[in-house]
Amino acid sequence: MMEPIKKKVEGYRLYMITFTVLSILTLIAVWLTHVRFASPLVIGLIMLIAAIQAIIVLFYNMHLKFQDKILTIFVGLIFSLIFLLIIVTMLDFVYR
Amino acid sequence: MEHTLTIQHRDDDASRIGMWLFIFTELFLFAGLFLVFAVYRVKYYEGFHLAAKELNVTVGTINSIILLLSGMTMGIAYLAIQKAKNKLTLAMLGITILLGIIFLVNKYFEWSVKFEHGLYPGSPELISLSKGDVMFFGLYFFMTGLHALHLIAGLILIVIVFGAVIRGRVHSTKYALLENCSLYWHLVDLVWLFLFPLFYLIN
């Protein structure tokens, strides 16, 4: 017998809601490119939206929310490592 | 009379952890490419800024929605198999395959336009442009091409799962293959969530 998840995954509605939220966030990101804010602010907002979308996909579509906490910690560590890698390299590149 | 008992070993938890480990390696692969993009974007700011305007935001947005929709159908297929609704599972897997193909067709047309304009790596037109343009389109073709290859691999995997559901090898108490396939498909989705803003929106 398969024991896939510790908590029960919600019904089909969960996937419909995540799709709607992800689509709305995508459209907001596209709309932001037409807004005349300062460029770094727009770039920051667009990347923030992408990060929020990634978290939604990881937690709901990839079921991290319903899995063991240890897997969530592992995924968090991997993303932190990637974030650190990008930040450290960029700082080194810009201030060298 | 001699009797033999065959016990088939199965460890679905290990299978899932194995898939996640594979996903981690894929994330590092694309993270490295995102890093290369970020470094060259800082170095050739002007060139990247102008080259990004050549991309069609509408096509990119449509492709994003298509991929997100396919993520939804894949999720429903995963839930349906657990509820022993095989017909719904097959229908959702079929729609996911269709959406994946539509994404690739859109990408084909998008790339064709760039080829017609001579904006492909190594073309005389592109070489005559600035270094920033050359780097932008080099990375654009490499990264979106690699993503498309992953999507094709995902489609092949879904076709295999589709066949396994029909043959009864994947069912309500044995669905690790479908679960791992679903994880892989969402990874393809996840990578696109960052590719889209980097290439199409930030200019």
pLDDT at A2 over 80: no
By CB atoms closer than 10 A (0-12, 13-18, 19+), residue B45 is exposed
pLDDT at A3 over 60: no
Global pTM value: 0.91
Determine the residue of chain B that is closest to A44 in CA distance: B202
User: CB distance from A89 to chain B under 8 Å?
Assistant: yes
Shortest CA gap B118–chain A (Å): 27
Cβ pair B68:A23 closer than 8 A: yes
**Mean per-residue pLDDT, A3-23:** 79
Cα separations in angstroms, A42 against B102, B195, B202: 30, 16, 8
Grade residue B67 by pLDDT with cuts at 50, 70 and 90.
very high
Cβ pair B71:A23 closer than 8 A: no
Q: Which of A1, A53, A87, A90 to mutate to test the interface with B (most CBs of B within 10 A)?
A: A53
Query: Which residues of chain B make contact with A29, given a CB cutoff of 8 A?
Result: 197, 201
Range of the domain at B60: 30-201
Structure ipTM:
0.90
- pLDDT of B60: 95
Domain positions in chain A: 12-62, 67-96
Interface of A with B in 10-69 (CB under 8 A): 11-12, 14-16, 18-19, 22-23, 26-27, 29-30, 32-33, 43, 46-47, 49-50, 53-54, 57-58, 61-62
- CATH number assigned to the domain comprising residue B90: 1.20.120.80
- pLDDT of B23: 96
How many domains is chain B built from?
Answer: 1
**Mean per-residue pLDDT, B145-161:** 97
Q: Tell me, what DSSP letter sits at residue B133? A: H
Determine the residue of chain A that is closest to B77 in CA distance: A12
Which tens digit of pLDDT belongs to each residue from B95-118?
A: 999 999 999 999 999 999 999 988
Residue B118, by phi and psi: left (phi above 0), alpha (psi -120 to 50) or beta? left
User: CB distance from B174 to chain A under 8 Å?
Assistant: yes
Instruction: Report chain B's mean pLDDT, rounded to a whole number.
Output: 93
pLDDT at A22 over 90: yes
- pLDDT of A49: 97
From B16, B38, B79, residue closest to A12, measured CB to CB: B79
Cβ pair B42:A27 closer than 8 A: no
pLDDT at B191 over 60: yes
Grade residue B123 by pLDDT with cuts at 50, 70 and 90.
confident
- pLDDT of A95: 87
Within a domain: residue B4?
no
- pLDDT of B113: 93
Residue A63, by phi and psi: left (phi above 0), alpha (psi -120 to 50) or beta? left
What is the per-residue burial (b if ≥16 Cβ within 10 Å, else e) of B85-99? bbebbbebbebbbeb
- pLDDT of A10: 63
What does the block give as tokens for B187?
A: 């990874």
**Mean per-residue pLDDT, A66-72:** 90
Shortest CA gap B39–chain A (Å): 7
